[in-house]
Amino acid sequence: MKLVIQRVNHAEVKVEGETVGKIGKGLLVFIGVGREDDKPAADKYLKKLLGLRIFEDEAGKTNLSLADVGGELLLVSQFTLYANCKKGNRPNFIEAGAPDQAERLYEYMIGEAKKSVPVVEHGIFGADMKISLENDGPFTIILDEAILS
């Protein structure tokens, strides 16, 4: 699994010109599911994501989590996080999870996040989505196997 996490002031996802997910202050998270991923892996990533202390406290230090600031969450599926560009100029996506597996884990993560985050919005799996955001910082973190091993 790979997550690209952006701390945002606001973010929105549109499909065919219609807003399907929109948040204020919080985290925009792009989720890539790999071939070997399963629910325990998703749980591990979600726990790490929700525990990250990447919001500033009153002293300007990144000491606060999403819950500490009452932040919102926008989850967007993005298989292209598994692009392999080692050979040639055309990426391959062999390491990405199969669409049915990836969709199940994506939906699972949305459901699990809703258990602890009051506002969880999301994109539509497999759709052509347009994302707009205002990155706060900018502050972007990548979580992948190397970080959680």
Per-residue pLDDT of 53-98, as tens digits, reads 999 999 999 999 999 999 999 999 999 999 999 998 999 999 999 9
Is 79 noted as a catalytic residue in this protein? yes
Is the model's pLDDT at 118 over the cut of 90? yes
pLDDT tens, 39-64? 999 999 999 999 999 999 999 999 99
User: For position 59, what pLDDT does the model report?
Assistant: 96
Is 78 noted as a catalytic residue in this protein? yes
Is the model's pLDDT at 139 over the cut of 80? yes
Is 55 noted as a catalytic residue in this protein? no
CA distance 9 to 24: 6
Q: Return the residue matching tokens 């606001």.
A: 10
- Predicted TM-score (pTM) of the model is 0.95
C-beta of residue 121 within 8 angstroms of C-beta of residue 72: yes
Average pLDDT over residues 116-139: 97
CA distance 26 to 119: 10
The tokens describing 4, both together, are 């690209």
The residue from 78, 101, 125, 140 that is catalytic is 78
Within 10 angstroms of residue 118's Cβ, the number of other Cβ atoms is: 10
The tokens describing 94, both together, are 């062999």
